[in-house]
Amino acid sequence: MSFVKRRHGGPFMRGFVIAGLIVFVLWSAGPVIWLVLSSLMEQQALIAQPPQVVPSSFTLDNFIQVLSAAAALGHGIFNSALVALFSTAVALAFGAPAAYALARLPVPRANNIAFLILATQMLPGIAIAIPLFIAMSKLGLIDSVLSLGFVYLSFNLPIVIWILRGFFMAIPVGIERAAAVDGAGVSATFWHIVLPISIPPMAAAAVFAFVEAWNEFFFALILTRQNAQTVPLVIAQFAGQYQTVFGQMMAAAVISVVPVIALAIVFRNQVVRGFADGMTKG
Amino acid sequence: MTANATFEQRRRRVGLLFVLPALLVLAVVLGYPIVDSVALALQQVSLRSGVVQQSWVGLDNFRRLFADTTFQRAALNTAYFSSAEVVLVTVISLSIAILLNHPIGRFGIFRILLIVPWAIAPVANAVLWKWILHSNYGVLNGVLKALGVIDVYHVWLGTPASALNFLLLVDVWKSVPFVALLMLAGLQRVPNSLYRAAYMDGAGPWQSFLHVTLPTIRSVIAIAVVLQTIWSLRVFDIVFVLTRGGPADATVLLNFLAYRVTFNFLDLGYGSAIANVVFVLTVILAIVYVRLLWPRERRAG
């Protein structure tokens, strides 16, 4: 048996791998497929006994009803988009220079600062949420899209810095030396030489940050009321109020997850590489 | 070398300028609250008609923890939930990573299947499972009955042990994909030459897994275990949507208890004390994480 053949395994091994993959596909895709199917089924079909696992007809009624009945959903999508875009864009604007400085410039104790920044990512939400809630109540900042955006910015900064720092450390020093010899200052080098070759990791960091902000629930629950409500809050509320209108519940869930799933699928390779490298390489 | 020194000074100045905005945001939004959360735990804080009232009470809140049976219940629930979750997530993720690293499993579609559950919002995930687990119309009951596994429909979230275990299942389902992707990235970094060498030495698939694969991805596994433990301490959304801590407080985890005490019972000081417990647990785990990430020789420099 050759080496390559050995790596593929014998017929027994292949059968085992294929069986494992089938279980994996059912386990990962099953619930998601059921989510989409239920959102496309009529209420009668959903509560039929015995249950119809393979529906006889599809309808878009649930989506139409959810979008027309729940004005909160449209408002929530708008808020979520705003908060996610703001926190992602500012995180990149602040995070990219910080990551570059921590990777390349003679900042005192750069490694310690980098680790401190990473450590903030691990703080349990609840320990921060209570003081933040009190302080923001006193300052009248509760239920504002901008304050929520700032809170999410602080969650996104560590992600961005950590992903980009790993990338910047791997850039050959020669490129920057050449720029310096040509008379470029630090800022010019960063802006004209380093940033243009950093588009892929920046895209990864942006997607990661956007998804996290779009999906965040806990702080939105505590720091917003009606006005700044985001999509996850609307979905949770909807599931509490209309718990018998299953099709609409699923339609609302589908609407809320489609944008981030699309982003994640398109950028999957960058996201995985960026995050895996950032989290597992000091 | 004065020119050189000023050049270095300039680089340092720009570096500080580059780092400053990010550090400021983190200090205001995260640094201040984490310090204040310790102070709050030493106070009696109440919220009456939107006005916060505070008074110092020393360690009273922490003393209350010891007498509070709900807290003990939550601590036990959390201990069970976190340890079970870490074991399950690690084993399942590693198995999936190995499957997807096998030549048959290398199609892009499998990777897409992993990234989708990761991107789904925890709330949407919880709502989906609420529907799957529904006692009258849920697809789980329907499928299990059709297969003859159960005779009557079960109220899956209705009894204490079952409810906690189903929360566990839902969270494992959501957590596995990302950890699997991390491990897959680790597996792909194992150089093929090592497997070739093992093959030359006559190692079988199982032996090369034990002696080549495992040792090289050991650090990735260790990091995944610590991160997953930290993440499991934060679980909130699925408890909030699926059970609200019930039945009979069976699904109250420490994080959720701190939320409930603070924002439902409006006992902000005591809530902070519970949050501090979660914080200390996290700090211990984070230290372990840093030690795993940074081998000794590099930490010295």
Q: What is the domain partition of chain A in residue ranges?
A: 3-59, 63-280
Question: Residue A29: what pLDDT?
Answer: 93
Q: Does A280 touch chain B (CB under 8 A)?
A: yes
Our measurement of the distance from residue B6's CA atom to the centroid of its chain's CA atoms, rounded to an integer in Å, reads 46
List the helix and strand counts (H, then E) for chain B: 15, 2
CA distance A193 to chain B (A): 16
Chain A stretch 167-186, residues whose beta carbon is closer than 8 A to a beta carbon of chain B = 185-186
Q: Which of A34, A211, A276 sits opposite B182 (nearest CB)?
A: A276
Judging contacts by C-beta atoms under 8 Å, the chain B residues touching residue A239 are 126-127, 130, 241
Question: Residue A170: what pLDDT?
Answer: 86
Q: Which of A105, A113, A235 sits opposite B11 (nearest CB)?
A: A105
Our measurement of the distance from residue A110's CA atom to the centroid of its chain's CA atoms, rounded to an integer in Å, reads 27
Strand-pair partners of B44: B55
Is residue A196's pLDDT more than 60?
Answer: yes
Q: Are A253 and A178 in contact (CB under 8 A)?
A: no
- Model confidence pLDDT, tens digit, residues B21-35: 999 999 999 999 999
Q: How far is the first Cα of chain A from the last one, in angstroms, to the nearest whole number?
A: 40
Q: Are A256 and B121 in contact (CB under 8 A)?
A: yes
Alpha helices in A47-198 (DSSP H): 61-69, 71-104, 110-120, 125-138, 145-170, 173-181, 186-188
Least-confidence region, from A114-118, A250-254, B70-74, B189-193: B189-193
User: Under DSSP, is residue B43 helix (H, G, I), strand (E, B) or coil?
Assistant: strand
Question: Residue B62: what pLDDT?
Answer: 94
Interchain contact, B116 vs A131, CB within 8 Å: no
Interchain contact, B295 vs A282, CB within 8 Å: yes
User: Under DSSP, is residue A197 helix (H, G, I), strand (E, B) or coil?
Assistant: helix
Element (H, E) at B53: strand B51-56
Instruction: Copy the structure tokens of residue A96.
Output: 């990219």
Question: Residue B300: what pLDDT?
Answer: 46
Question: Residue B28: what pLDDT?
Answer: 93
Instruction: Copy the structure tokens of residue A65.
Output: 């009803």
Strand-pair partners of B45: B54
Chain A stretch 189-218, residues whose beta carbon is closer than 8 A to a beta carbon of chain B = 190, 211, 214-215, 217-218
Is residue A149's pLDDT more than 90?
Answer: yes
- Model confidence pLDDT, tens digit, residues A225-237: 989 999 999 999 8
Is residue B296's pLDDT more than 60?
Answer: no
Report domain extents, chain B: 2-41, 68-300
Mean pLDDT score of chain A = 88
Q: How many CB pairs under 8 A join A and B?
A: 319
For residue B247, cis peptide bond before it (omega within 30 degrees of 0): yes
pTM value is 0.90
The fold of the B68-300 domain, in CATH, is MetI-like fold (1.10.3720)
Interchain contact, B255 vs A151, CB within 8 Å: no
The band of A163, judged by pLDDT with boundaries at 50, 70 and 90, is confident
Question: Residue A256: what pLDDT?
Answer: 92
Question: What CA–CA distance (Å, rounded) separates A19 from A33?
Answer: 20
Question: Residue A281: what pLDDT?
Answer: 58
Question: What CA–CA distance (Å, rounded) separates B148 from B139?
Answer: 14
Whole-number percent of chain B with pLDDT over 70: 96
Question: What CA–CA distance (Å, rounded) separates A80 from B301?
Answer: 43
Residue length of chain A: 282
Our measurement of the distance from residue B157's CA atom to the centroid of its chain's CA atoms, rounded to an integer in Å, reads 22
Question: Residue B297: what pLDDT?
Answer: 46
Is residue B95's pLDDT more than 50?
Answer: yes
Q: Are B70 and B274 in contact (CB under 8 A)?
A: no
ipTM given for this complex: 0.89
**Closest residue in chain A to residue B11, using alpha carbons only:** A105
Strand-pair partners of B56: B43
Question: Residue A217: what pLDDT?
Answer: 96
Structure-model confidence comparison of residues A218 and B181, the more confident one: A218
Domain A63-280: CATH superfamily is MetI-like (1.10.3720.10)
Q: Does A24 touch chain B (CB under 8 A)?
A: yes
Q: Which of A47, A153, A218 sits opposite B137 (nearest CB)?
A: A47
- Model confidence pLDDT, tens digit, residues A73-104: 889 999 999 999 999 999 999 999 999 999 99
Interchain contact, A134 vs B40, CB within 8 Å: yes
Is residue A46's pLDDT more than 60?
Answer: yes
